Amino acid sequence: MFTSLLRRVLQPKKIIQTSRRNLFASQQLFSPTKSDNLPEHSDEVLHAPLYMFTEEETMMKETVAKLAKDKIEPLVREMDEKSQMDPSVIKALFENGVRRSYYAN
């Protein structure tokens, strides 16, 4: 191991050449995509960005946030002390469309 390290220290020219070669390869890898094959204009959006929610997803997010604030938060301390989910929380989750909720028995 020491000899390998010593060789690297004594051969800086080779290291610089390797570094330049790696830099050039990474520049080619991450260069901007050419848009030659893309249509100039499209009336149809195929995919929305991942950070944008559909109207349905936004409604679900708001519903779950309200449910958590109004129904679950007041029971958290009690459920934590008992190490058990309150049945009313499970019922509220199912009533609000959260079907695959995890709960401990």
| Rg, the chain, Cα only | 28
- The answer to whether position 25 is within a domain reads yes
Q: pTM value?
A: 0.46
Please name the helix (run of DSSP H) or strand (run of DSSP E) that holds residue 12, with its range, or none. helix 12-29
Say whether pLDDT at 10 is over 60: no
Contact 63, 92 (CB under 8 A): no
Question: In total, how many domains does the chain have?
Answer: 2
Average of per-residue pLDDT across 83-105: 78
Nearest partner of 87 among 97, 32, 101, judged by Cα: 101
Nearest partner of 64 among 36, 92, 88, judged by Cα: 92
- The answer to whether position 87 is within a domain reads yes
- The answer to whether position 44 is within a domain reads no
- The answer to whether position 63 is within a domain reads yes
- The answer to whether position 16 is within a domain reads yes
Domain hosting residue 91, numbered range: 55-95
